Structure 1
């Protein structure tokens, strides 16, 4: 399948929530416990209003699409260079989409005058960010309230200086 990148369109909102949920549920299970995946998935951005709030705030949502123009992966870049929500549907992993989205985020950040990109990468996303030149600044251990308990989980604060 061939892929291309484009900016978010309003008709993409519900699909992005589905991509998030499937990526966390399927891919997340390879690096996190069932409890951690359930807590993480419960934070799904499926509500269209939240996606539109991000757009209204000036965030850029870059979307990878297949030849049918259906979204299969996405990333959200905030105005200050924070890269949020880089997710790929499990049926489209290992196709270079993460690399494409990271390159697009760099271009967007440079165009906005950002001097660095920074993110919080999951255990599974960390290698892709490292390949793209990001460095780990520290491991973030925290908990997510879910099903009446605090579920411990972690990710990595990472950043990349832009030339």
Structure 2
């Protein structure tokens, strides 16, 4: 286990870091799987306050690598891993795996029988390696663009 990675509870002061991670991960990593027009529609945070409220309203975690914000994740009340993004500079270091383990631990604590996510084309292989299965392919609308993603689930326990 990498002791340079710290997973901690999300705090209100993390809003800027999570937005930066979200935008950079989409623009710099997911851009290999989506068109420039799709990326422009997806990589957008219109309301910083609403973003902050969503993170603080549910179990959410920050990953730090050597004390720097490296990723984040959250879990909704119905077992949805709503967001999990890793900063481009910290890809491939095990951060997403550690975040997912924390989400799975929380799901077990809350008594969920399964967790699910809507994984991008980029994230799908990661989730498949971690035991998720594709339930269905979906098309979601973002600012007038149709983006493909995958409803995926994993049984807990």
TM-score (ref. length: structure 1): 0.89
Q: Which runs of 5+ in 2 are unaligned?
A: none
Deviation for aligned residue 1:52: 2.7
Q: Which runs of 5+ in 1 are unaligned?
A: none
Contact 1:20 1:45 (8 Å CA) reproduced: no
The 3 A distance-change label for structure 1 pair 45 and 156 is: farther
Moved over 6 A (4+): none
Contact 1:5 1:62 (8 Å CA) reproduced: yes
1:36 matched residue in structure 2: 38
The 3 A distance-change label for structure 1 pair 158 and 123 is: same
Aligned equivalents of 1:54 and 1:65: distance in 2?
17
SS in 2 for 1:94: coil
The 3 A distance-change label for structure 1 pair 9 and 105 is: same
SS in 2 for 1:120: strand
The 3 A distance-change label for structure 1 pair 47 and 128 is: same
2:10 matched residue in structure 1: 8
Aligned equivalents of 1:53 and 1:96: distance in 2?
25
Asked if 1:114 is matched to 2:121, the reply is no
1:25-77 per-position Cα deviation (integer Å, ceiling 9, x unaligned): 111111100000000002x3771443234423xx1111110222x32100111
SS in 1 for 2:93: coil
Contact 1:18 1:46 (8 Å CA) reproduced: no
Asked if 1:103 is matched to 2:101, the reply is yes
TM-score (ref. length: structure 2): 0.92
Aligned equivalents of 1:101 and 1:45: distance in 2?
25
2:25 matched residue in structure 1: 23
Q: Give the alignment partner of residue 154 of structure 1, picking from 148, 153, 156.
A: 148
Aligned equivalents of 1:45 and 1:117: distance in 2?
27
